Amino acid sequence: MLVQAETTQADSLNLDCDIAIVGGGIVGTTLAAALKDSGLKIILIEARPPEVTTAKTQAYALSPLSSRIYQGMGIWQNIFPYIGKYQHISLTDADYPQQVKFETKDLPGEYLGYVAQHNVLITALHEYLVDCPNVTWLCPAEVINLTTDQDVSTLEVRVNGEQHLIKTKLVVGADGARSPIRHLAKIKTRGWKYWQSCVAFTIKHNAPQNNTAFERFWPTGPMGILPLPENHCQIVWTYPHAQAKALAELNESAFLAKLQTCIGGVLGDLELVSERLVFPVQLMQCDRYIKSRLALIGDAAHCCHPVGGQGLNMGIRDAASLAQVLQTAHEQGQDIGTVKVLKRYEGWRQRENLAILGFTDLLDRMFSNNWLPVVVLRRLGLWLMSYLQPLRIFALRLMTGLLGRTPKLAQR
């Protein structure tokens, strides 16, 4: 577990390092874990206190490729017992009776995916890094400024009200969609805000099986239903902004009645067991993922619509890919902060992420409307996918990240 006491002795720390990772969420901590045995000296900087970083109740879809990355690190055995697993995916369009069913026969392996709560993942990562001699935590710590010279980047950091300088060969921004590091580096972004917001919450149900992930498409927006342990499910329900806000404010009985209608009764009786969180949706891609002495990963580099559960998986692949590029360069005696080295990461991940951004955007736009030509086209697509296994396998491999280049961590 991340130990806050370590951060109170900043004066006694040697704050020069090889890599300074700004952002101690799942993606930033995954990068540090992937580099644990690299021989590189790492400082991980997180603005929020440890009790805040571990307290989030959000759950995420984890693809088979993400699970293989964590297997390659050696921490999957500490995650697997505490997460949901699904062997089936059910995709439907409103009241259209044709259902696309993805099964494990479409993708070799015991499961098509997993669902992990935030605290399970971040706790496993923290425990993996306990007593790691080449990783130093600064938490809570705030980055005030970033300057870059030819051979070094310098971060000005405030820890316990005092300012300190960190000189490093490379700064990695893993600090979220509103990334201060991206702003300080003056990297531009492209994209748009959707007309939709998501309502995220957890339910408990009494269905006899809890091994199916559901994607329900409605003209107002998609609904994702992901199984968690003990007959719980994480639900992300998309609506136009005003309707999403009104939905979250419904009394519990009216809310559950509306939810039951949209789910179609497949989960039996429902009980709301968490608060309803509302957040807007956006698509964003950085013009560039790297500059001299700087790289961006996760939501700092890109954001997508939550349909299909792609967001965190993209960030995990970013972390594993960047770790591979940096470790290889270090082993070959190369300067890890140069544009020449970092372009290997950018060329790898920027194109793959763009494909996922386009895929999720197309899904949302195709299904979130009632325009008759589009309705006919998408339902024809569902019919074809139901009966053509190669098409179904292609869609599944795209959603699980298996069409792209596989990091070496996932090949162990």
* Per-residue pLDDT at 14: 61
* 35 within some domain: yes
Q: What is the pLDDT of residue 6?
A: 43
Whether residue 268 is contained in a domain is answered as no
Q: Please indicate, yes or no, if residue 28 is contained in any of the structural domains.
A: yes
For 333-371, write each residue's pLDDT tens digit: 999 999 999 999 999 999 999 999 999 999 999 999 889
Please determine, for residue 15, whether its predicted confidence score (pLDDT) is greater than 80.
no
User: Distance between CA 318 and CA 342 in Å, rounded?
Assistant: 12
Contact 292/231 with Cβ under 8 angstroms? no
Within-domain flag for 234: no
How much of the chain exceeds pLDDT 90, in percent? Answer: 84
Amino acid sitting at position 184 = L
Q: State the Cα–Cα distance between residues 405 and 345, nearest whole angstrom.
A: 12
Task: With beta carbons less than 8 A apart as the criterion, state whether 36 and 15 touch.
Answer: no
Q: 347: which residues sit within 8 A by CB, 6+ positions away?
A: none
Helix (H) or strand (E) holding 393: helix 389-399
Q: How far apart are CA 147 and CA 336, in angstroms?
A: 17
| Domain-embedded: residue 197 | no
State mean pLDDT over 242-266. Answer: 95
Q: Residue 3's pLDDT is what?
A: 37
Distance CA 392, CA 387 (A): 8
**Is residue 50 in some structural domain?**
yes
Contact by Cβ (8 Å): 47, 176: no
CB 406 within 8 A of CB 120: no
Asked if residues 182 and 300 have their Cβ atoms less than 8 Å apart, the reply is yes
Number of compact structural domains in the chain: 1
Which pLDDT tens digit goes with each residue over 202-227? 999 999 999 999 999 999 999 999 99
Locate the DSSP E strands across 87-220.
88-93, 100-103, 113-117, 135-138, 142-148, 153-159, 162-173, 189-205, 212-218
Rg (CA), the chain: 22
Q: Is the pLDDT score of 1 beyond 70?
A: no
pLDDT tens digit sequence for 71-85: 999 999 999 999 999
Confidence of residue 191 (pLDDT cuts 50, 70, 90): very high
Helical packing angle, 372-387 and 339-367, nearest 10°: 110
- 276 belongs to a structural domain: no
pLDDT at 45 over 80: yes
Does residue 262 belong to any structural domain of this protein?
no
- What is the tens place of the pLDDT at every residue in 94-143? 888 889 999 998 888 899 999 999 999 999 999 999 989 999 999 999 99
Domain that holds residue 117: 4-190+282-411
Give the pLDDT band (50/70/90) at residue 56.
confident
Spatial separation of the C-alpha atoms in residues 181 and 291, rounded to whole Å: 12
What is the reported pLDDT for 313? 97
Residue ranges of alpha helices (H) inside 209-251 are 241-249
**Does 400 have pLDDT greater than 90?**
no
Q: Look at residue 279 and tell me whether its pLDDT is greater than 90.
A: yes
Task: Say which residues have a Cβ less than 8 Å from residue 331's Cβ, sequence separation at least 6.
Answer: none
pLDDT at 373 over 90: yes
Each residue of 157-190: pLDDT tens digit?
999 889 999 999 999 999 999 999 999 999 999 9
pLDDT at residue 277 in the model: 95
Of residues 98 and 88, more confidently modeled: 88
| CATH classification of the domain holding 84 | 3.50.50.60
Q: What is the pLDDT of residue 95?
A: 84
Full-model pTM: 0.94
C-alpha 256/C-alpha 264 separation (Å) is 12
Instruction: Kindly report, residue by residue over 306-316, the tens digit of the pLDDT.
Output: 998 999 999 99
Closest CA to 288 of 345, 329, 334, 355: 345
